[in-house]
Amino acid sequence: MSTITTISIAFLLSFVILVGKRVFYNATITHQPTPLAVPRLFCPTTLLNFNGADGKPVYIAVCGHVFDVTPCKHFYGSGGPYENFAGRDASRGLALQSFDKEVLTQDLKGPLDNLADINATQLANLESWEEYFSGKYTVVGWLVAEDH
């Protein structure tokens, strides 16, 4: 191999390494870590703000967990089939398979619904919904009573 060929190959290799490093370096420093969702406490009145109105996220509470259901705004946002649950504790509605307004907590400043009166079938319903939501959505916090 002639000297000129060797020098050319060495030059080409240095160039490739330099460009490669720059690409790798840029890729490394421009990568922004995904922000962590820090779980927080919601009371029924604060949860109500997350009903999807005005482009805000949609959260619903199931068994004390607050889930971010924004990815399925077509279900829970305004005009969706499950909009009644947006920004609310959906536990009783899911347990009873009901959309009635009466199954939603009426007094948002009172104690949480402890579901003490639901039967075994309703409880099983609720448990399977809880499992479904846990597998699909991010938990963003916990539901607590106003005067916790």
* 42/76 with CB nearer ligand HEM: 76
Paired with 138 in beta bridges are 68
**Quick check: helix, strand or coil at residue 34?**
coil
Binding positions for ligand HEM, 17-76, rule CB under 6 A? 69, 72, 75
> Which two three-digit tokens encode residue 1?
């191999």
Site string for ligand HEM, 103-132 (x = CB under 6 A): ------------------------------
Kindly give, in sequence order, each residue whose CB lies less than 8 Å from that of residue 15, ignoring residues fewer than 6 positions away: none
Site string for ligand HEM, 75-104 (x = CB under 6 A): x------x----------xx--xxx-----
| Residue 54 region by backbone torsions, left for phi larger than 0, else alpha for psi between -120 and 50, else beta | left
* 12/128 with CB nearer ligand HEM: 128
